[in-house]
Structure 1
């Protein structure tokens, strides 16, 4: 790495120091009693959002959509799903964020559209339509008996195959996700130009400050399409991510997007706009750096998902929800890897442990029993705020929301992925192929289903947790009377109050927390997670007890306690699920 690149790593840019707050609009706040959260509901809560101490609001897809995949199936990039509001409401939200000194980013979902999008309707109308090549169409193959079979043997992310037969034009179209989400063909330049205009410039011209870029490393497929190796002999369809992740033209496409669109815009206060990509199946740092190197001019940062995949089977495989027990040293190695990979580079990283696609962090990584929930939430808050990179929080994380109760039956799970995996498990169990599959997949969904993050936000102890006066689209957590924002705003010792405090500390100590170098201590300890952060002569020591028993703290002589998550902290005992941060300096 050149000296110039290293200096770019230390360059201070607003988004490196920012705390981002993700809002899932269906589940945040319903303003009109129809059971769906909406943009006016977010506007009603803008003072609350600002009070948490966040710098950027990220709105998950609110575009027009049939909602097969909760808005990640866009039917019109330039319109808003009617139950969420109108384009004018989004413009008002942009202005409200800016007025409260917060920036706002939207989701950019351009690997695929809905099959209801006008582009796809044209594409499937005839083989000679000008937009036919905007999607991937291929003729059928035939087996030895003459039966029609798909062009390849790929398994989709939502279980099932990736090809759907279209009777009208007698060809198959490709979809990595649900059959209602056909993949756009980025090889077609006219298609790319339309994406830039409709999905990006339309909203940038209305004042947004950047994008979270969905499925960013899947735009370039490996062509021509060929079968994936058979790794599951029991199935006709095979995991095939290598056929569409990090394809041959991916860096060319992202560079073009940055050059032609992103670099042409500024935030409301004149800063560069921000892009953060969803980068799946990139387990090696050397495959991630090219996407986020400042010199490469592609993306500012990405989400790398090793931490949220802890204990999970590989995405796109039969066993994603076939969970495995994990030990704390595994988590430490993941954090260390993605904290340290930017050192000596001009790359940047992200810090998160929740989003709309995963179970809640308390339930996943700590202990969500009523007697441990608050301590778990506060300890995990310290785990996050000490780490280098841009910090991302998900709605409800700041009040310690947890997974749906295990007593709920599978009918409460609304997500298309959960439904597909459950239906597959029922079928394989009942036909004798895999008799214990139902129990195993139920356990996996209870821990890691995307539904858990989508339970409505718990605002107060009124009906439906204050989310809606109508019947919510998804059941509200049974614990809303005891876990809600209104009660926590009045309590100086609440999870919410703690988050506000530590987010301020992160800003006050940004040299060491945001920009410092990470060093893992005692990596094989099964109970405690201890790391240091260093910036020049400043050092912070982060000490975390991931167990429900007392532990021995490390030696902290010559260091001062900056913050503890426990009300009764003592020097010689680390309380159950306690987190602490020490420093060797004063502000």
Structure 2
């Protein structure tokens, strides 16, 4: 495992790298069954190589009943037949490496599928040797098993409903922070941890270059599993204080490093997805001296448009909130640690629809956000379709959705909570994870060139105009803009390692900051709005903008005194 820069070491390779996330089910289908697969990914490797990315991260392709689109794993060492075979995986791995890229696997070890042999054994009897591999508890004292309120604690699941499900055969409840089909592993049991490390070593020995670790800061729970507070309008308690970055999380990650990564000669990468992580915790997790993970995925910035009721209570983004959040994280991890930079992934709606203008200024707002993100200090992540400016989909009814979180929320919100279906659907259209999971739009042909069959989820109907072929041939190409951003990170040490300073933090639509290293300095200014923007009455900033040399902008012509709608400029300054 590499380290970030320090006086004693060279900067880690991933400080100059860009990661591309592939959600295999929706990327490209090679056999016409309507579901993306390994053959489809292999067929598009040249697209990724031409984009210039350094790392390809695959969302889960393991054997799975697909209750949560592969994040419920029933066999960690088999490829799900939906996606292909282990031989095809080896072909994919060879193709990635031959093009000078690395391959990262998704690691989902907070939970397994309830069809995993470990859980099947665990559930077979109360005295099975694997019973303690998962979290089992009796009904709450004073309640009959199966009675409402009998759950061992009041925790709610991330996918609606209780976080406990009764197993009638053994008359006990098991814990699942997500779907009932995703029981949580008990990391207190050393046998569980060793089984996980053995599996990880099997993949690294096969040639994979690291792991993105799903909700990895949830693996350590307070063994008492006590009740959490119940928020207004919620049916279940919030137990997060007892499992988010829990009591032994640092012990477990340091042990994982010793058991899997210590002594490896390959330049591996480890990314911890960590909902609820704080800056102080992230500094510990990513401190190279502690040997835990290389970088973390935090979620503070993608929760800023949530209302008091959470994700499904959409309120829109105040840019000042985003600047404050990103500035805190840039400063907080500047000395020790490293940021993951993202606005899109498989769990977030499409960037250009959420924070930009996906109609009149789709190209401009897509490229503005790309530049702002990639010019921060950290490792940028590109989610499939982001590089061509894909948008949210116009879902018309709940039947159009496939995501378990979205569907469960609709029925809970319109049932026990009594919300109006039209209002619930409005927020689903904006925030549902399915927005990121519609098929990648490759061509203007049938089904956007994704499949010759019927896709598992409908293609966005705007594919005749928004697709890779059309974008790459256009004068205003989102793809080519991403290419130039990635090339800039590869070539410019200021982009990789320069100090970050936020400017005009209180301005409602101007996003401006500098990156400085040695004698080199860059100024990035962006107009995050559909109106023309005059620069604020700041003589120093105005001089820098007027005196800087334009390296890259999304309007392409000579800069004007004002910033045009959704305009961004990257300037080299004295």
Same fold (TM over 0.5): yes
Q: Residue 310 of structure 1 corresponds to which residue in structure 2? A: 304
Give distance in 1, aligned partners of 2:551 and 2:4: 33
Contact 2:4–2:338 (CA<8 Å) still a contact in 1?
A: no
CA distance in 2, matches of 1:185, 1:144: 25
Relative to structure 1, the CA distance from residue 203 to residue 8 in structure 2 (aligned partners, 3 Å threshold; closer, same or farther) is farther
Distance 2:120 2:80 in 1: 19
Say whether residues 1:474 and 2:464 are aligned partners. Answer: no
Q: Which of 336, 339, 343 pairs up with 1:349?
A: 339
Question: How far has the Cα of 1:142 moved from its partner?
Answer: 4.5
1:398-449, CA deviations, whole angstroms, 9 ceiling, x for partnerless residues?
A: 00001012x5222111100000111111104xxxx5444x344322221111
Higher mean C-alpha deviation, range 498-507 or range 182-191: 498-507
2:349 corresponds in structure 1 to 359
Aligned with 1:196: secondary structure? helix
- Find the residue that maps to 2:465 and give its secondary structure: coil
Q: How many residues are aligned here? A: 563
**Kept in 1: contact 2:349–2:430 (CA 8 A):** yes
* Structure 1 contact 8–294 (Cα < 8 Å) conserved: no
Q: CA deviation at 1:484?
A: 0.8
Between the aligned partners of 1:441 and 1:516, the Cα distance in structure 2 is: 44
Match of 1:376 in 2: 365
Aligned residue for 1:57?
Answer: 56
Distance (whole Å) between structure 2 residues aligned to residue 94 and residue 450 of structure 1: 28
Residue 392 of structure 2: aligned partner: 403
Task: Give yes or no for contact 2:397–2:425 (8 Å, CA) kept in 1.
Answer: no
CA displacement 1:371-415 (0-9 Å, x = unmatched)? 21111111111111211111111000000001012x522211110
Tell me if structure 1 keeps the 8 A contact 2:387–2:478: yes
Q: Whole-Å Cα distance in 2 between the matches of residues 34 and 334 of structure 1? A: 43
In the superposition, relative to structure 1, how do residues 186 and 465 fare at CA in structure 2: closer, same or farther (>3 Å)? same
Q: 2:518 maps to what in 1?
A: 536
Query: How do residues 557-576 of structure 1 correspond to structure 2 at under 5 angstroms?
Result: 557-576=546-565
Matched, 1:133 2:116: no
Q: How does 1:2-17 map to 2 (within 5 A)?
A: 7=6, 11-17=10-16
Q: Is the 8 A contact 2:363 2:476 kept in 1?
A: no
Work out the CA distance in 2 between the residues paired with 1:454 and 1:17. Answer: 28
Measure how far apart 1:337 and its partner are.
1.2
Aligned to 2:415: 427
Distance 1:452 1:10, change over 3 A: farther
Pair 1:287 & 2:281 matched? yes
2:489 is the counterpart of 1:506: yes
* 1:525 and 2:519 are equivalent in the alignment: no
**Matches of 2:331 and 2:8 in 1, distance apart?**
13
Report the aligned-residue RMSD. 1.9
Q: Is the 8 A contact 2:501 2:514 kept in 1?
A: yes
Stretch moving more, 128-137 or 545-554 = 545-554
Give the equivalent residue in structure 1 for 2:438: 455
The change in CA–CA distance for 1:117 and 1:9 in structure 2 (over 3 A counts) is: farther
**What is the distance in 1 between the residues matched to 2:4 and 2:293?**
15
Unaligned runs of 5+ in 2: 536-540
Counterpart CA distance in 2 for 1:455 and 1:466 is 13
Structure 1 residues 145 and 410: CA distance shift in structure 2, 3 A: closer
User: What is the alpha-carbon distance in structure 1 between the residues aligned to residue 419 and residue 31 of structure 2?
Assistant: 46
The answer to whether the 8 A contact 1:311-1:326 is kept is yes
Name the SS of the counterpart of 2:76 in structure 1: strand
Change (3 A) 1:497 1:235: closer
What are the residue-to-residue correspondences of 1:71-220 with 2, within 5 Å? 71-143=70-142, 147=147, 149-198=150-199, 200-220=200-220
Aligned-pair CA distance for 1:569: 4.5
| Inter-partner Cα distance in structure 2 for 1:9 and 1:548 | 47
Aligned mates of 1:229, 1:359 — CA distance in 2: 29
Aligned residues of 1:22 and 1:58 also touching (Cα < 8 A): yes
1:68-87 Cα offsets, whole Å, 9 max, x none, are: 00000000000011010011
Deviations 1:127-177 (A, max 9, x none): 111111000000112547894601000011111111000011110000000
The alpha-carbon deviation at position 331 of structure 1 amounts to: 1.0
Counterpart Cα distance in 1 of 2:361 and 2:393: 16
1:558 and 1:10 mapped to 2: Cα distance? 36
Partners in 2 of 1:334 and 1:9 — Cα distance?
Answer: 31
Matched, 1:321 2:312: yes
Instruction: Determine the structure 1 residue equivalent to 2:538.
Output: none
Deviation by residue 1:292-334 (Cα, 9 ceiling, x = unmatched): 10111000001111122121258xxx63211123311111111
Q: 1:435 to 1:449 in 2, by over 3 A?
A: closer
Q: How far apart, CA to CA, are the structure 1 residues paired with 2:419 and 2:376?
A: 43
